[in-house]
């Protein structure tokens, strides 16, 4: 937390020390559609949320501004088994399985820096942004598998394979609607792919095989990378700098 605050303070100092028109502070959040690749195999999406605090330099229309933001994001994926009907092996009577969802979520604190460029629209400003992102895993849901029998646990992800730090990109765009001279409302859509792994598990030999009852199962290497689509709404509060001769 101290490092995050120091980073934000340094960024604010750098932004306000330039020749920019001023600085804007923002708070925003919204829904997240999180997906993961498990060794090039896609899982079902995880529906989650995110919350972000931001700071950026103000610039004239068409010029590039610099932004930094700190946020709380949920990354991950899910496995959904839909409901179905089957005949009970014992009684032969029809039964219904109501379905289930297993969530693999990673709660991450993120820091992002990048650039943003605006273009005038009829009622406000359109913009695009791109930047770099670093994240630290605060907690995750892999503890759910520790309740399984030890012989079975080897087939599921464990805390030992979690990478605390991940890095990636952020790019997207949005629209800003002025509410007053100093306040804007915004809506934004971003894509957040990781280029490092959230989870890595090497090949594991001699794992327990539930079909043979022996330790003759080989679990292949497992790599997990995050990607998320985030829809964000929020407000910007502008602090305009006026130069007087």
Q: Quote the pTM value.
A: 0.79
Hey, what are 234's tokens?
Answer: 């929020």
pLDDT confidence of residue 141: 87
Q: pLDDT, tens digit, for every residue of 184-230? A: 999 999 999 999 999 987 766 666 565 566 665 666 678 899 999 99
Do the beta carbons of residue 207 and residue 215 sit within 8 Å?
yes
Sorted by where each starts, the structural domains of the chain and their CATH numbers stand as: 2-240 (2.40.160.20)
CA Rg value for the chain: 23
Report the C-alpha gap between 70 and 219 in whole angstroms: 37
Question: Could you tell me the pLDDT band of residue 61, with boundaries at 50, 70 and 90?
Answer: confident
Q: pLDDT, tens digit, for every residue of 2-20? A: 454 455 545 555 554 545 4
* Residues whose CB is less than 8 angstroms from the CB of residue 235 and which lie 6 or more positions away in sequence, other chains included: 26, 27, 28, 179, 183, 184, 185, 186
């Amino acid at each position: 937390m101290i490092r995050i605050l120091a980073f934000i303070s340094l960024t604010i100092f750098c932004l306000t020390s330039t020749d920019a028109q001023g600085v804007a502070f923002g708070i925003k959040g919204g829904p997240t559609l999180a997906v993961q690749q498990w060794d090039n195999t896609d899982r079902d999406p995880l529906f989650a949320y995110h919350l972000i605090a931001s700071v950026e330099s103000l610039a004239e229309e068409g010029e590039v501004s610099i932004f930094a933001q700190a946020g709380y994001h949920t990354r991950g994926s899910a496995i959904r088994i839909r409901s179905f009907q089957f005949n009970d092996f014992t009684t032969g009577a029809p039964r219904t399985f109501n379905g289930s969802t297993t969530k693999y979520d990673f709660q991450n604190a993120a820091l992002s820096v990048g650039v943003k460029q605006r273009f005038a629209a009829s009622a406000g400003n359109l913009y695009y942004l791109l930047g770099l992102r670093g994240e630290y895993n605060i907690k995750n849901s892999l503890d759910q598998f520790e309740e399984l029998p030890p012989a079975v646990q080897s087939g599921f992800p464990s805390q030992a394979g979690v990478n605390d730090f991940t890095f990636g990109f952020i790019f997207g765009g949005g629209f800003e609607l002025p509410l007053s001279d100093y306040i804007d409302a915004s809506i934004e859509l971003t894509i957040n792919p990781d280029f490092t792994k959230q989870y890595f598990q090497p090949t594991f030999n001699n794992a327990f095989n539930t079909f043979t009852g022996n330790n003759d199962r080989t679990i292949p290497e497992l790599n997990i990378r995050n990607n998320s689509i985030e829809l964000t709404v929020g407000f910007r509060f502008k602090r305009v700098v006026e130069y007087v001769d």
